[in-house]
Structure 1
Amino acid sequence: MYDPRHTAVLLVDPYNDFISEGGKAWPRVESVAQQVGLLDNLRAVVGAARATGVQVVFVPHRRWEPGDYETWDHPNPTQVSIMERHSFARGTWGGEFHPDFQPQPEDVVVHEHWAQSGFANTDLDMRLKQRGITHVVAIGLLANTCIESTGRFAMELGYHVTLVRDATAAFLPEMMHAAHELNGPTFAHAIVTTAELVEAFGEARSGI
């Protein structure tokens, strides 16, 4: 199902502000993240992808800079929050990737997205198509915003989309429920656990 030659793991927003102790958004994510084992599962998926030859693609949010959104006609609520809190500020620790998720030479880092979809106004689609990618696995933050928006957009562009229940997190359990039980089944081709995905990657490696 996951031919390494045509599969990519999309690692969305692995910033310190999201997934590191002391990050601006970590207090809101921490409970759900710890409940699902987020960090260990992200490590497992990324590690299995690299071991299998699956392309790892970093899909980062816009790193806040002074002036961002201030002259916009209608920034969305998340953008207003970023403008106020300076989340993922460029040049700060919070705007750096978590130490365990640093791009490797074989990885791809695409242009930063301004809102929620990693495809909108970025080079993600082009970079995937140039590598012959047909299947994408979305992991990272947040389940009900950037992961969902990126997954939906991928489906619209013709990709096979996999969501990983425990390799993502959200601010509330209800948001996780909505992402995986209500909304995910309307666009994702597969919704799996980290263990199931790692096993599938292993089988794909053995089958090549």
Structure 2
Amino acid sequence: MSAIPLPAYPPGHTALLFVDPYNDFLAEGGKLWPRVAQVAQSVGLHDNLKRILARVRAAALPVFIVPHHRAEPDDFTGWDHPTPYQLGAARAQVFARGSWGGEWFPDYAPRPGDVIVKEHWGGSGFANTDLDLLLKQRRVSHVILVGLIANTCIESTGRFASELGYHVTLVRDATAAFSAEAMHAAHDINAPAFAHAVLTTDQLLEALGDVKAA
């Protein structure tokens, strides 16, 4: 049993947000896998994502796939001020549309009934997408975030969710980053300012307990 008080996840009002489950992030040979591999392996990322997805699906909780924009060669032509992060991704053609790297990692590919959100251009899965609308139409109040990267898209999406009034849970070993320092900053320094819970996979599975959506 966990030594910390665990949040309650109301059936019918809780959803999993899986951010950026692309080959470029998660597969051997992916463009960004070498940069996240050490941290991902140290926390058991792949096994934890599988465990969480299995529990969430068994509970019939909705899964929202929250994907980053798939790169195209002329994405930022004519833009006034794309960010350095966007320009770097464009140069590398990360998650390039039509490429293997821009396909879903097979173990986490969407299944029938999953919700695929419009692609986000920056860090937040909410900014300029339909995520907030889709969650509200399904009466979701509690969101659990997993995927990549802890200190960029996960943090940005979590912050935005909190600002919009959602109960936000981060799962510290169901994400990764380019360094252990970035993971520490995301979960131990920044998260307490916006997240309602920062759990391990074991704690999350315990908290979900016998939850099952109606």
Inter-partner Cα distance in structure 1 for 2:127 and 2:164: 11
* Other-structure match for 2:132: 125
Inter-partner Cα distance in structure 2 for 1:55 and 1:199: 18
Inter-partner Cα distance in structure 1 for 2:181 and 2:210: 33
Which of 25, 29, 33 pairs up with 1:22? 29
Of all paired residues, the percent bearing the same amino acid is: 61
CA contact (8 A) 2:22 2:95 kept: yes
CA RMSD of aligned residues (A): 1.2
Runs of 4 or more off by more than 2 Å in structure 1?
Answer: 202-205
1:4 aligns to what SS in structure 2? Answer: coil
- The residue type paired with residue 106 of structure 1 is G
2:106 aligns to what SS in structure 1? Answer: coil
1:58 aligns to what SS in structure 2? Answer: strand
Matches within 5 A, 1:100-179: 100-179=107-186
Which of 173, 189, 192 pairs up with 2:199? 192
Task: Report deviation, 1:123.
Answer: 0.2
CA contact (8 A) 2:16 2:63 kept: yes
CA contact (8 A) 1:4 1:55 kept: no
Which of 81, 88, 111 pairs up with 2:88? 81
Task: Report deviation, 1:69.
Answer: 1.4
Higher helix share: 1
Task: Report deviation, 1:199.
Answer: 1.6
1:188 aligns to what SS in structure 2? Answer: coil
Inter-partner Cα distance in structure 2 for 1:146 and 1:121: 14
Task: Report deviation, 1:71.
Answer: 2.1
Task: Report deviation, 1:76.
Answer: 1.1
Whether 1:70 aligns to 2:77 is: yes
Deviates more, 1:72-81 or 1:120-129: 72-81
1:107-129 Cα deviation digits (max 9, x unpaired): 10010000000000000000000
1:49 aligns to what SS in structure 2? Answer: helix
- The residue type paired with residue 182 of structure 2 is M
- How many residues matched? 207
Task: Report deviation, 1:142.
Answer: 0.3
1:123-171 Cα deviation digits (max 9, x unpaired): 0000000000000001100000000000000000000000000000000
Task: Report deviation, 1:70.
Answer: 2.7
The gaps in structure 2 that reach 5 residues or longer are: 1-7
CA contact (8 A) 1:57 1:108 kept: yes
The gaps in structure 1 that reach 5 residues or longer are: none
Taking structure 1 as the reference length, what is the TM-score of the superposition?
A: 0.97
